[in-house]
Structure 1
Amino acid sequence: MPRLTLVVPAYNVQSYLRECLDSVLGQDFGDFEVVAVDDCSPDRSGALLDEYARRDERVRVLHLEQNVGLGRARNAGLARATGDYVLFLDSDDTLTPGALGAIAERLDATGDPEILVYDYARTFWNGSERRNLLRAYLVQEGPEVFSLRERPRLLDLLQIVWNKAYRRDFIEKHGFEFPAGYYEDAPWTFCSLISAQRIAVLDRVCLRYRQRRAGGNILRTVSRRHFDVFDQYDRVFAHLDAHPELERWRPEMFRKMADHYLTVLDKPDRLPPDARAEFYRRAAADYRRRLPAGFVRPPGTQGRKYAFLALGSYPALAGVKVANKVRRTVRTQGRRQAGRARDAAVRLFYQAQLRLPLDQDLALFSAYWSRSYACNPAAIDAAVARLAPHIRRVWVVKDPAAPVPPGVEVVRPGSREYWAALARARYTVNNVNFADEMVKREGSVHLQTHHGTPLKTMGLDQQRFPASTHMDFADLLRRCDRWDYSLSANRFSTEIWERVYPCGYTSLETGYPRNDALVNATAADVRAAREALGVADGRKVFLYAPTHREHHAEFTPRLDVAALAEELGPDVTLLVRGHYFYAPSPELARLTAGGRVRDVSAHPRIEELYLAADALITDYSSAMFDYANLDRPLVVFADDWQIYREVRGTYFDLLREPPGAVATSQEELTGLLLSGAWDTEETTALRAAFRERFCEFDDGRAAERVVRRVFLGASPDAVPVVPLRERRAVPSPPEALAAGRG
């Protein structure tokens, strides 16, 4: 029998669940079990739990057949607990290193109390952490084991269950279980604390309580379900009625009840406006019905609110709140006005356009900060033209000479036409974010396509690597709040996007539309790509596409490409693709004049370069994930891997999980390419595993999937994903040339 059982319910937490379970299974204390409960989660939480159970026998998984809510999911896990003590851990929170060892040691030192209360810290999206403000209540004073009568201030701690270890026989003796509905922690916490005879405390942060910015706390949802709080306090007072020996706690429970009701009324994100007066009447009725004899109201503002409850005077309470709100609004508006001193004429024009109706058939597209017609937005645009021709397609493009397809209108950033389209378009599509000034209008649809599968850290994770960015993360999240949909090419990306951009969008696991051109390519497409580049038949083509490095001001290939081309000989053409963040390289221009090295940094469609190449040489670029769809050899040149990981951070170890051959020096790379070690049975197996993980949704119909869902309102499964093993193979350059000759 284990010392500890951790009950971990899971529902819609696929982006946080790994971090939670890793924090448990990585503890230095091992005498525990995890009872993980999949509360019929619609995402992949259940599959992730099964994955961990296969890897670690301490994890047992219970899959519920229907969603029952947090309280009942905990009950289901509790029924299967076998440990001496039960701990409840929410699946988006984490244990601190050494927490379980410290808890077990404290339990031993205090002679197995019925409840051990330990501390927690709130963690925020910006990386900050704040310890429980009432941590002083957990400092050891007097006897190491005590009853609540000796330390009644423990009732003022947040009414939560996940900062306590409960002796299992104590739970069973009293028959404690979680009720259904909101605020399920209140009756459990209060009834267990007032019933316990032996309590101990641990003045140590054992748990990090994640403050999710969006979608994490169901209590921040405007709903009539907040009326559940009345049922929860019915249970608390029923427990008091059933146990006369606990009568001394009635005034304290009354105070907690009144405070809780007032908190629900005070929070703007709880009750629908038309339900507030009804809630107040029920709260006032409970107040008058349960008022203990001789009860003394608290002083100050809170005491006045108690008086309003006693009188049943909702208008008076609401009046106080309105006055406070007015004062706050005046201060806030003053700050905002000071920060919005911009071009008055443009602002007024945009505001005027915002007052006009949305154009239901207008879609505004942009890619790479309006550099060109490219990437996922371009592939979606082409699919819109085919599948939804009634949509008017407008692109934001800086360069007047940038090519766009027929039927596409172009506006320049900052022009009146731009602001008009931004204000009135029902659909906005981008692979980055539009300007901060963009107003997200009700009824509009904003589609974030992204522009790669992330190897390097993104979004909020970049806070851990300040040398890589000067981003204002609060501004970033305000921009991301505008998203309605976020595209993903694989489950790996979905988990990361949802965690590092914690906003209220819907993830669309459609695949990347830009990769349709790769997956659907024919032998003729491959030949055309090589002919457009002027590559002679029979020549081997290696595409070298390194990523951007924040610590480099300009593009300097880490390879001596001239020396590499010389070593590879006259039958090899080396294409070099610099990152779009960099200006054209004079050095590459000089080498291109020699013939065997070609600077293709300005080529408008990288997909054509992929089709022309026999193999891709890259470092940490997301190009590897796209190119893998062709099932052609990939070579990783990682001469500065440790520096890159430390400066930018990565999500997995590319040297341990590569898509093919790896070289850490130019000499090693040259040897690989000359010996043929870049394309072997071993590298093919590595590529197959890589494709299985990262190419799962790129089946050639991603753009259609997006357009039917977002623009035409089809169901999510209208265009099923073709499994990887059933997809048609894309011809390699030698196969394409042979087919052309045949």
Structure 2
Amino acid sequence: MPKLSLVVPAYKVRGYLPECLDSILAQDYPDFEVVAVDDCSPDGSGAILDEYARRDPRIHVIHLTENVGLGRARNAGLEKARGEYVLFLDSDDTLSDGALKAIADRLEATGDPDILVYDYARTYWDGSVRPNLRADLLKTDGPDVFSLAERPQLLDLLQIVWNKAYRRDFVERTGLTFPPGYYEDAPWTFGSMISAERIAVLDRVCVLYRQRREGGNILKTVSRKHFDVFDQYSRVFDFLEGHRELDRWRGPLFRKMVDHYLTILERPGRLPRDARAEFFHRAAADYRARLPEGFEPPEGRRRHKYALLQRDAYPAMMSALAAVRTRRRVTGGTRRVLNRSKRGAMGVFYRSQLKLPLDENLAVFSAYWSRSVSCNPAAIDAELGRLAPHVRRVWAVRPDAVKHVPAGVDYVRVGSREYWAAVARAKYFVNNVNFGDTVVKRPGQIHVQTHHGTPLKTMGLDQQKHPASTNMDFRKLLQRVDRWDYSLSSNRFSTGVWERVYPSNYTSLETGYPRNDILVTATAEDVRAARADLGLREGTTALLYMPTHREYQRGFVPRLDLERLAEQLGPDVTLLVRGHYFYGASSRLADLQSAGRVVDVSSHPSVERLYLASDGLITDYSSAMFDYANLDRPIVIFADDWDTYSVVRGTYFDVLREAPGAVATTQEELTELLRSARWRDERAAEARARFRRRFCDFDDGHAAERVVRHVFLGEPLEELPPIVPLDERVPAPPPGPGIATSDPISVL
């Protein structure tokens, strides 16, 4: 029997669940088990739990067959818990370092009390941490172990279950279970605290309580479910009726009930407007029915509201709340004046266009900060033209990039009158980064964030932890994220990352990346044409080298001596070198091209055609590896600066240990690897197969179709083409037989 059982229910938390589980498994106290409950979560949280359970036998997973809600999911975990003590942890929160050891030590020092109450702190998206405002109640002044009667002020702590360790035999003896509905913590918390004979406290932050920016807390949503609070307090007072020896707590619990009702009434964004009067009258009825004899309302700002509730004086209560809202509006009005002054910089013309009706059949596209017509937006553009030709498609392009716009593509120059008219009136926006801060999101407009890769390196809010991102304005970043309606994903791993590092209220679309459709649908003729465009002769082995950007370097600095590598690999090998899109043309690469063995393809308009033309990929930390894996062709990782890159930029996994193929950390190793068969041998293929299973979830050739049908044509998700299983997909064929052999690369 472990000392501690942690019950962790999970529902729609794929972005936060790994961090929660990691915080548990990283504890320096080993004597625990985790009972994780998948509450029939539709987002893959259950698969995450299963993966962790495979890696650590202390994790036991329960999969519920229907969604039952937080309270009953906790009950399911409680039934399976075997520990001497039970702790509850919400799956978007985390344990602080050393928390379990501190809890276990305190339990031992206080002689195993019925309940141990410990501290928590709120954490925010910007990295700030705010302490519990009533942390003073957890000071260890006085006896180490006591009853609630000796320290009744503990009732003023937030009524939550996850800041306590409960002795399991005490829970069973008291008959505690969680009820269904909102505010399920109230009956459990009050019932346990007033029943416990031995309580101890731990003045230490053990739980980091995440304040989710995107509104993950259901108690902050507008719903009639807030009426559940009446049932919860009925249960609290029914518990008292069944335990007359606890009758002394009727007054304090009455006060907690009234304060809770008033909080729901006062907080905006909880009750529907047409339900407020009904809620108030029910609260007033409870007040009169449960008012203890001799009860005196508390002193302070709420005292008069107690009186209004007792008299069922709804108009007077609404007048009091309206006065508070007026004060808030004055403050908010100042902010709006500032916002209007900022928008003044956009120009009179743009403001005039914003007043015109939306064009329901206009879509604006952009890619890579309006540098090109490419990537996922270009693939969606093409499919939109096929499935919905009535929608006009316009690209936003920087003036210095206009010369690269393909013939026949309709475009507007960023900053021109045509551009401002388009972004003011377009119904649809499609981008693989973000539109500029000056673009206003109008009601009715739809923004599709396609992204441009699977993240190995840290992204979004996770970049706050790494020195390479110190110049990023994360508050402005999130303001841009708030414009998103949809976020595309090519695999479950990415979905979880995007939802955590870009927290907002968009919908994740697990459609696959539209730009990768061609990697599955291309024919042998398409492959031959892609090679012919590059001048690759038959029998040539083409290796595509795609290093990523380094924040600590200026410009494209090849980490390989490309001339020497090309010479050592011989005349039958061509190195296709593509610098990161942050870099311009390189004079060094231009010089090497004259040798005929190195081709600078940095300006090639379609990286997907480069993938098709190549026999293998050499990269370091570029997201190209995730896309290229869809071809099921060899991938070689050349990571000579992993120790530096992983610290400066931060990564989500160790690419040296979880690579999609063979790995080299020096040029000598890379050369030897490529001159042998190891770069495409059976061991490399097995590594690639593992990588594909993890990261090629949705790229089956129908991604663009799914996006267009759902976003532009309004078709329900369940009616879209289903994802073709990985084992049933047939990638684009490799280059011809003279190239796609398993023999070592020929050398001079």
Q: TM-score range by the shorter chain?
A: over 0.9
Provide the rounded CA distance (Å) in 2 between the counterparts of 1:576 and 1:53. 42
**1:696 matched to which residue of 2?**
697
Alignment of 1:560-579 (within 5 A): 560-579=561-580
1:326 is matched by which residue type in structure 2?
T
SS at match of 1:62: strand
Do residues 114 (structure 1) and 118 (structure 2) align? no
Question: CA contact under 8 A between 1:465 and 1:649: conserved in structure 2?
Answer: yes
Query: Partner letter of residue 732 of structure 2?
Result: V
Are 2:83 and 2:168, in contact at CA under 8 Å, matched by a contact in 1?
yes
* Alignment match, 1:664: 665
User: Which of 507-516 and 90-99 deviates more?
Assistant: 90-99
Aligned to 1:77: 77
> Which residue does the alignment assign to 1:726?
728
1:35 counterpart = 2:35: yes
C-alpha separation in 1, matches of 2:516 and 2:394: 22
1:109-135: CA deviations, max 9, x gaps? Answer: 212211110111111111222221211
Matched residue type, 2:653: F
Instruction: Describe the SS at the equivalent of 1:735.
Output: coil
Q: Which moved more, 1:715-724 or 1:226-235?
A: 715-724
What residue identity is the alignment partner of 2:320? V
Instruction: Report the CA distance between 1:411 and its aligned residue.
Output: 1.2
Q: Aligned pair 1:706/2:745, yes or no?
A: no
Relative distance call for 1:84 and 1:343 in structure 2 (3 A) is closer
For 2:286 and 2:351, how far apart are their aligned partners in 1?
Answer: 48
8 Å Cα contact 1:124/1:212 also seen in 2: yes
For residues 362 and 715 of structure 1, the distance between their equivalents in structure 2, rounded to whole angstroms, comes to: 21
CA distance in 2, matches of 1:451, 1:498: 15
Q: What secondary structure is seen at the aligned counterpart in 1 of 2:404?
A: coil
**Distance in structure 2 (CA, Å) of the matches to 1:733 and 1:56:** 43
Q: 1:54 to 1:671 in 2, by over 3 A?
A: closer
By how many angstroms is 1:469 displaced? 4.5
2:502 equivalent to 1:514: no
Percent of residue pairs bearing the same amino acid type: 68
Q: Secondary structure at the match of 2:451?
A: coil
RMSD of aligned C-alpha atoms?
2.0
Shift in alpha-carbon separation, 1:720–1:551, aligned structure 2, 3 A:
same
What pairs up with 1:345-364 in 2 under 5 angstroms?
346-364=346-364
1:558-707 aligned at under 5 Å gives the runs 558-707=559-708
Q: Which amino acid aligns with 2:153?
A: R
Q: Name the residue aligned to 1:504.
A: 505
How far did 1:36 drift?
Answer: 1.8
Give the equivalent residue in structure 2 for 1:549. Answer: 550
Q: SS where residue 205 of structure 2 aligns? A: strand
Does the 8 Å CA contact 1:523/1:737 hold for their aligned counterparts?
A: no
Structure 1 residue 737: Cα displacement: 7.9
1:37·1:74 contact (CA, 8 Å) conserved in 2? yes
Question: Deviations along 1:256-283, whole A, 9 cap, x unmatched?
Answer: 1111111111111101111112211222
Mapping of residues 253-268 of structure 1, within 5 Å: 253-268=253-268
What CA distance in whole angstroms lies between the structure 2 residues aligned with 1:215 and 1:42? 18
Instruction: Name 1:60's counterpart in structure 2.
Output: 60
Q: Secondary structure at the match of 1:734?
A: coil
**SS of the residue aligned with 2:402?**
coil
SS in 1 for 2:285: helix
CA contact (8 A) 2:539 2:738 kept: no
Return the alpha-carbon distance in structure 2 between the equivalents of residues 679 and 232 of structure 1: 63
The aligned length equals 738
1:605 offset after TM fit, Å?
0.8
* Matched residue, 1:273: 273
What's the CA shift for 1:419?
A: 2.1
The residue that corresponds to 1:389 in the other structure is: 389
Q: Is the 8 A contact 2:660 2:684 kept in 1?
A: yes
Measure how far apart 1:715 and its partner are.
Answer: 2.9
Structure-to-structure mapping, 1:438-457, within 5 angstroms: 438-457=439-458
Q: Given residue 626 of structure 2, which amino acid in structure 1 is its aligned partner?
A: F
Q: 1:58-457 maps to which residues of 2 (within 5 A)?
A: 58-338=58-338, 340-342=340-342, 344=344, 346-398=346-398, 399-404=401-406, 406=408, 408-457=409-458
For 2:90, what is the secondary structure of its paired residue? Answer: coil
Q: Deviations over 1:204-247 (max 9, x none)?
A: 11111111111410001100111111111112122223322222
Q: Distance in 1 between matches of 2:319 and 2:740?
A: 82
State the alpha-carbon separation in 1 of the partners of residues 247 and 728 from structure 2. 69
Q: State the secondary structure of the residue aligned to 2:357.
A: coil
Change (3 A) 1:73 1:342: closer
Structure 1 residue 165: deviation in Å? 1.0
> In the alignment, residue 251 of structure 1 is paired with which amino acid?
G
Give SS of 1:300's match: coil
SS in 1 for 2:173: helix
CA distance in 2, matches of 1:735, 1:710: 42
Q: 1:651 aligns to what SS in structure 2?
A: coil
Give the Cα separation in 2 of the matches to 1:416 and 1:336.
26
Q: 1:293 to 1:729 in 2, by over 3 A?
A: closer
Query: Which letter maps to 2:405?
Result: P
The range that moved more, 91-100 or 266-275, is 91-100
Cα shift readout 1:518-576 (whole Å, capped 9, x = no counterpart): 22222211111121112222222221111011111211111121222222233322221
Letter aligned with residue 669 of structure 2 = E
TM-score, reference length from structure 1: 0.96
Q: Hey, what's the Cα distance between the residues in 2 that align with 1:463 and 1:543?
A: 32
Contact 2:374 2:606 in 1 (8 A): yes
1:145 maps to a residue whose letter is V
2:734/2:740 contact within 8 Å kept: no
Aligned-partner Cα distance in 1 for 2:730–2:168: 57
The whole-number CA distance in structure 2 between the counterparts of 1:360 and 1:335 is 31
Q: Judge conservation of contact 2:6–2:89 (CA < 8 Å) in 1.
A: yes
Extract unaligned runs of 5+ from structure 1: none
Contact conserved, 1:511 with 1:697, CA < 8 A, in 2? yes
